[in-house]
Amino acid sequence: FAESVELRVSLVPDAGGRIYPPLLTLSYTERSVESIRTWTAESDVSDPEITFNVVYTMDLSGFRTDLTVAFIIISVFAFVVWMLRMYSWRRRNHADNIDGKTMRAALFYLVQTGSTIYFWMLWGCCVYWLLFFKGQNTVHLLLPTDDDLGAFVVLLSICFVWKALQVIALLFKQNNADVFFVDWEKSRGMLTSSNANDPDRPSPVSIWRSYFVANEFNEIQSYRKVKPVFTIFASVFLLTVAQLENVALERPESSLDNPCPQDSPVNEVLRFAIASSVFLGVAFVQYAWAKMVTTRFFENKIAEFIDLCSISNVSVFIMAEDYYGWYIHGRSVHGRADTDMAEM
């Protein structure tokens, strides 16, 4: 008897929705007479499982060729960007020889450049399938089947692993950065000793201003224009509660309702396109809001920290590398910051 039935419908290229004669594939199985005689209520002899699938396919050889050409071009572009970043790093660090430090930097910039560029390539291809498959009136484009997703899965896995390595390397780089607080305050006056044998010494400078600046610097370490927790929760809300995840179903219409979930499987290409688009959209809205509204009309934590350095008469050196970093010039225009209310 028939164990599985598969109806394969192939689309004729550039034929205005016409199809080839459908191909019906039947897979048979057999049972021995002895198993039928000795069947019980718990066995599946009396009620065997029979599967029925309908697969819609099209010739994707032209798309594979275009994708291969695009992959080669993007790989060359990624290599050029990686070489430019390494050239800039070697100039900053005066690295004339290839040692372990140079190899670590090369690996870091390789995974950073490759994962970012390949992700945007994957996102663009998946969004192409999403827009043109959901927006077609006459059938001219069908989704790739599971057999066609090998390259997609491999490239997505590479992007994930490389991005994870980039995050680990970035944490290592940040944890090894050197931060120096330079107090420009000078001693004012001399301390006279009660012992005639002890010489007078300059009055000490208060350390509390440097402590306060260091504490504020530590607080803004976790400041982000894009909030990770809010981004995740908002993306999950839009995908599940607002049912945007139903856009990833293998059906041409873009309706968010799913009356027959068992008849509409989820396509991995469409799922990646809608999930990543929602995540990027939420992040972009947060970044635009923080850039155009929050930092202009409410608070700008970086500018406030720079003002604090200027008031405290403390400068900050942030050395991310041996010969490269950032400097905040916080030397007060008044010459000193340790003063009293009467002098102010």
Residue 38's pLDDT is what? 61
Q: Dump the DSSP string for 162-177.
A: HHHHHHHHHHHHHHT-
Within its chain, how far is the Cα of 38 from the centroid?
58
- β-strands 51-58, 2-11: how paired? parallel
Nearest to 124 by CA among 284, 286, 280, 285: 280
**Statement: residue 196 has pLDDT above 80:** no
DSSP label at residue 56? E
Confidence at 252, pLDDT banded by 50, 70, 90: confident
pTM of the model: 0.80
Nearest to 123 by CA among 254, 289, 258, 281: 281
Residue 235's pLDDT is what? 95
Q: At residue 91, what is the residue type?
A: R
Q: Which of 139-143, 153-157, 262-266 has the highest mean pLDDT?
A: 153-157
Q: What's the rounded Cα separation, in Å, for the pair 201 and 175?
A: 39
Once rounded to an integer, what is the mean pLDDT over residues 78-89? Answer: 94
Nearest to 143 by CA among 24, 56, 70: 56
Q: Which residues share a beta bridge with 265? A: none
Q: Which residues share a beta bridge with 266? A: 249
Residue 143 falls in which region: left (phi positive, over 0), alpha (psi -120 to 50) or beta:
beta
Determine contact, residues 338/188, Cβ cutoff 8 Å: yes
Backbone angles phi, psi at 38, to 5 degrees: -105, 20
Residue 117's pLDDT is what? 94
Tokens of 111: 């995974």
Position with higher pLDDT, 321 vs 40:
321
**Statement: residue 154 has pLDDT above 80:** yes
Helices (H), the chain: 33-37, 61-93, 100-134, 150-175, 208-219, 228-236, 268-289, 301-312
Question: Residue with structure tokens 């930092």?
Answer: 295
Q: What's the rounded Cα separation, in Å, for the pair 66 and 157?
A: 21
Q: What's the rounded Cα separation, in Å, for the pair 74 and 119?
A: 11
**Three-class SS state of 175:** helix
DSSP label at residue 127? H
Determine contact, residues 149/64, Cβ cutoff 8 Å: no
Render pLDDT for 270-323 as a digit per residue (tens, 0 to 9).
999 999 999 999 999 999 999 999 998 998 999 999 999 998 899 999 998 888
DSSP label at residue 19? B
Q: Which residues share a beta bridge with 201? A: 191
Tokens of 146: 């599971």
**Statement: residue 333 has pLDDT above 60:** yes
Render pLDDT for 84-131 as a digit per residue (tens, 0 to 9).
999 999 998 888 888 888 899 999 999 999 999 999 999 999 999 899
